[in-house]
Amino acid sequence: MSAPSLTPRAAATNSVWPQLEPLLPQVSKPIQYVGGELGAVTKDWDAAAVRWALMYPDAYEVGLPNQGVQILYEVLNELPDTLAERTYAVWPDLENLMRTHGVPQFTVDAHRSVRNFDVFGLSFSTELGYTNMLTAIDLAGIPLLAADRTDADPVIVAGGHAAFNPEPIADFIDAAVLGDGEEAVLEITAIVREWKAEGSPGGRDELLLRLARTESVYVPRFYDVDYLPDGRIQRVVPNRADVPFRVHKRTTMDLDAWPYPKKPLVPLAETVHERYAVEIFRGCTRGCRFCQAGMITRPVRERSITTVGQMVREGLEFSGFSEVGLLSLSSADHSEIGDMCSGLAQQYEGTNVSLSLPSTRVDAFNIDLAQELSRNGRRTGLTFAPEGGSERIRKVINKMVSKEDLIRTVVTAYSNGWRQVKLYFMCGLPTETDEDVLEIAEMAHEVIRAGRAATGSKDIRCTVSIGGFVPKPHTPFQWAAMERPEVIDHRLKILKQAINSDRSLGRAIGYRYHDGEPSLIEGLLSRGDRRVGSVIRKVWENGGRFDGWSEHFSYQRWVDAAAETLPAFGVDLDWYTTRQREELEVLPWDHLDSGLDKDWLWQDWQDSVSEFEQDDCRWTPCFDCGVCPSMDTEIQIGPTGKKLLPLTPLGGNGMKVPASDHSA
């Protein structure tokens, strides 16, 4: 593909806006490319020693609310000699015009060419964003392959959960950061700053070597992969003596020291989330075997109730948002969630501010939480995730929730004024049968019956949402075989029939699902090795864009690309997806250390097959997963003994605000 013509880095202060602006009336949603949002930062290019372009590789409406990118954007821009700007994936209509008119991939803050920055950082929460990354690299005029880049090109760094196995994109990135980014980006910035101040000795290779020596930045070019005749990996080893054999994840231990975002971005165009989001804790010890996020973010680190209160106050005052999202993998598990919700509800009672817990476990939701979340009369959506339809499959995945727990929880919500709840399940789980899936319909029917009985109303609804299971690295299911798409689709079909078998109940139940095809491709990318890079590139060359969007995703395009490229390596699509791995097989990410002991993960996989439930180690003795010793820490839990109260009189904006002394 032809990349746009570019100005030299010396002319980097030049904005591409004069070339871009005439194109915007010709595209959909042009406002997303304009920038200038409340919270946006534009700094003097010449005053900056280090310059970052940050990207969440999806459309503006998905990328702007991304919490990780917002935090790094703010952390970096607080440094006096560092500049960070944002870029997002452009829709195909603008991409075509940019190629025609020679406009490069640009930032929305000052509309500078991405190629002119020192570091191009991309945050991946899903592997289906890889084709968008290639579009951005190519539009920027940067060589697709890391091996072809020169000192004139930015260092491309991948982060986010997908970076825990960056091997499928190893040919396209220069480096990957595992784990938390707050301190990592500061360390990378310091290394780049020093290298540039010294006159860039040794060029690009020396800079990458300095990053690799930190032992927390993975540089693929410094590692070679050897394969066995049957296609499995024999070993992954450094190809030079001064880089580590294993790369370790970064963990930010004191969340109170990083109260970001302080000045959240307020979008100009409609986005998927429009709220002030506070991460109330990081990590999870529930041990759901399918959940990569819960495994790789260990140990648990809570943000104190007083810091949360301060962040909410300042974030709302700055942004004007009317919803506060208390985020974590399982928000109701915070040791002071009751006091936190009651304190916030009391502070903002009588205002238009509402609270939401976007991630709520069935067995952690109770009447007190329900009352606090609905105190001001506004009820945000409630989603509960039993994940598996039958008790048996919930034992397999270690989701310790009974049908009775679910019914009791949903009745609590209905009785407190909610009229609709969403229930999330997965299809294609290890050992799953048709019968396991059909129990989802039975559970949904019971939810409606119980809700009608408790409220005396037929105005009760629930939505059953089904996602496809994808085995992820660094989880007990990293060895598991995937189900074929036709099996998933069969189960989804019979489930819909079962839900609608009782018309009185079925019409009160919404049904949403993702078919099996995108999940299989996500599985290819999730557990792939470097050979999968050829598939990604072929898909992109054949027009692959926005693969996370159903209207743009083409399963056949991925199947064809895999069939065209993988046989040269002696493997195929099934080899990466529907094949079960063996215990001693070298996995593509074994040299990337998430802190979890591989033997412990294997034993938990065996426990899963035996339908053995593992307790939450936050409240029980240690199970030796390996994280706490490797992190030299202990699980952090409250309570602090402090409250959000007492309150001062109403502030100038009509809201009650907490006093500066947060003590009880």
CA distance 54 to 77: 12
509 forms beta bridges with: 462
Q: Are residues 261 and 203 in the same domain?
A: no
CB distance 207 to 195 below 8 Å: yes
The reply to whether 507 falls in a domain is: no
Verify that 191 and 267 share a domain, yes or no. Answer: no
Least confident of 101-115, 348-362, 413-427: 348-362
Q: What is the mean pLDDT of the chain?
A: 91
Q: What is the DSSP string of 118-176?
A: SEEEEE-SSGGGHHHHHHHHHHTT--SSGGG--TTSPEEEEESGGGGS-GGGTTT-SEE
Confidence of residue 147 (pLDDT cuts 50, 70, 90): very high
Interatomic CA distance for residues 592 and 656, integer angstroms: 47
CB 513 within 8 A of CB 466: yes
**Residue 99 belongs to a domain with what CATH number?**
3.40.50.280
Structure tokens that stand for 619 in this block: 């409240």
Residue 210, classed as helix, strand or coil, is helix
278 shares its domain with 213: no
Higher pLDDT, 629 or 168: 168
187 with 258, same domain: the answer is no
Per-residue pLDDT tens digits for 375-386: 766 676 788 999
Separation CA 425–CA 407 (nearest Å): 15
- Please give the C-alpha separations between residue 174 and each of 3, 53, 235, 245, 545, in angstroms, as whole numbers: 20, 15, 21, 17, 22
Same domain flag for 22 and 115: yes
Of the residues 189, 224, 259, the one at which a domain ends: 224
- pTM of the predicted model, to two decimals? 0.93
Assess whether 52 and 152 both reside in one domain: yes
Residue with tokens 């392959």: 145
| pLDDT band of 306, cuts 50, 70, 90 | very high
CA-to-CA distance for 26 and 444, rounded, in angstroms?
Answer: 46
Same domain (yes/no): 217, 256: no
CATH number at residue 259: 3.30.750.210
One-letter amino acid identity for 413? A
Residue 97 lies in a domain: yes
Range 134-153 average pLDDT = 98
> In angstroms, rounded to a whole number, what is the distance separating the alpha carbons of residues 330 and 312?
19
Q: How many CA atoms lie within 13 A of 623 on its CB side?
A: 21
Q: Are 613 and 398 in contact (CB under 8 A)?
A: yes
**452 domain residue, yes or no:** no
Compute the distance between CA of residue 213 and CA of residue 175 in angstroms, rounded to an integer: 12
For residues 217 and 315, membership in a common domain is answered with no
Q: What is the pLDDT of residues 436-489, one digit of tens each?
A: 999 999 999 999 999 999 999 999 999 999 999 999 999 999 999 999 999 999
- Alpha carbons 557 and 598: distance in angstroms, whole number: 35
Q: How far is CA 614 from CA 395, 600, 617, 620, in A?
A: 9, 12, 8, 10
Alpha helices by DSSP H, listed for 297-433, are: 305-319, 337-347, 367-373, 391-396, 403-415
Q: Which domain holds residue 166?
A: 16-224
Interatomic CA distance for residues 148 and 616, integer angstroms = 48
- Above 60 in pLDDT, residue 117? yes
Q: Answer yes or no: is 271 within a domain.
A: yes
pLDDT in tens, 558-587: 999 999 999 999 999 999 999 999 999 999
Residues 212 and 298 in one domain: no
Same structural domain, 326 and 369:
yes
What is the rounded average pLDDT of the residues 93-100? 98
In the three-class reduction of DSSP (H, G, I as helix; E, B as strand; rest coil), residue 571 is classed as coil
- Say how many residues make up the chain: 664
Grade residue 13 by pLDDT with cuts at 50, 70 and 90. low
Distance CA 579, CA 471 (A): 11
Answer yes or no: are the C-beta atoms of 6 and 35 closer than 8 Å: no
Structural domain total, the chain:
2
Question: What span, in angstroms and rounded, lies between the C-alpha atoms of 131 and 417?
Answer: 44
pLDDT band at 39 (very low <50, low <70, confident <90, very high): very high
Residue type, 435: E
Q: For 188-230, what is each residue's pLDDT tens digit?
A: 999 999 999 999 999 999 999 999 999 999 999 999 999 999 9
pLDDT bin (cut points 50, 70, 90) of residue 655 is very low
Contact 463, 561 (CB under 8 A): no
Secondary structure E strands in 348-475:
354-356, 383-387, 420-427, 461-468
What pLDDT digit, counting tens, does each position of 235-278 carry? 999 999 999 999 999 999 999 999 999 999 999 989 998 999 99
pLDDT at position 359 over 60: yes
Q: Are residues 220 and 307 in the same domain?
A: no
Bridge partners of residue 223, in order along the sequence = 238
Q: Which pLDDT belongs to residue 363?
A: 80
In a domain, 609, yes or no: no
Percentage of the chain modeled with pLDDT above 70: 92
Q: How far is the C-alpha of 382 from the C-alpha of 397, rounded, in Å?
A: 22
Quote the pLDDT of residue 254.
Answer: 94
Inform me whether the pLDDT recorded for 389 exceeds 50: yes
Least reliable range by pLDDT among 170-174, 343-347, 372-376, 478-482: 372-376
Question: Which pLDDT score, from 0 to 100, does residue 644 have?
Answer: 67
- Same domain, yes or no, for 375 and 289? yes
Confidence of residue 368 (pLDDT cuts 50, 70, 90): confident
Q: Is 316 within the bounds of a domain? A: yes
Residue 4: pLDDT above 70? no
Within a domain: 211 = yes
- What is the arithmetic mean of pLDDT over 117-131? 96
Please list, in sequence order, all residues whose beta carbon lies within 8 angstroms of the beta carbon of residue 551, skipping any fewer than 6 positions away.
none
The per-residue b/e assignment along 330-343, b for 16 or more CB within 10 angstroms, e otherwise, is bbbbbbbbebbbbb
* Helix/strand/coil percentages in the chain, nearest 5: 40, 15, 45
Q: What is the dihedral of CA 5, 43, 259, 630, to 10 degrees?
A: 50
- Please, which pLDDT band fits residue 662 given cuts at 50, 70 and 90? very low
Q: Which amino acid is at 48?
A: A
Q: pLDDT tens-digit profile of 636-651?
A: 666 776 766 443 433 4
pLDDT at res. 350: 87
d(CA 557, CA 95): 20
Is 601 part of a structural domain of the chain?
no
Query: In this structure, is the dihedral angle defined by the CA atoms of residues 466, 469, 474 and 476, taken in order, positive or negative?
Result: positive
**Following DSSP, what letter does each residue of 44-61 receive, concatenated?**
-STT-SEEEEEEESS-HH
Structure tokens at 97: 């015009």
Helices (H), 484-551: 485-499, 503-506, 516-526, 533-541
pLDDT for 401 beyond 90: no
pLDDT at 373 over 90: no
Query: Is 489 in a helix, a strand, or coil?
Result: helix
What whole-number distance in Å separates Cα of residue 206 and Cα of residue 262?
A: 35
pLDDT at 634 (0 to 100): 67
d(CA 485, CA 525): 16
**pLDDT at site 14:** 83
| CA dist., res. 341 & res. 79, Å (int) | 34
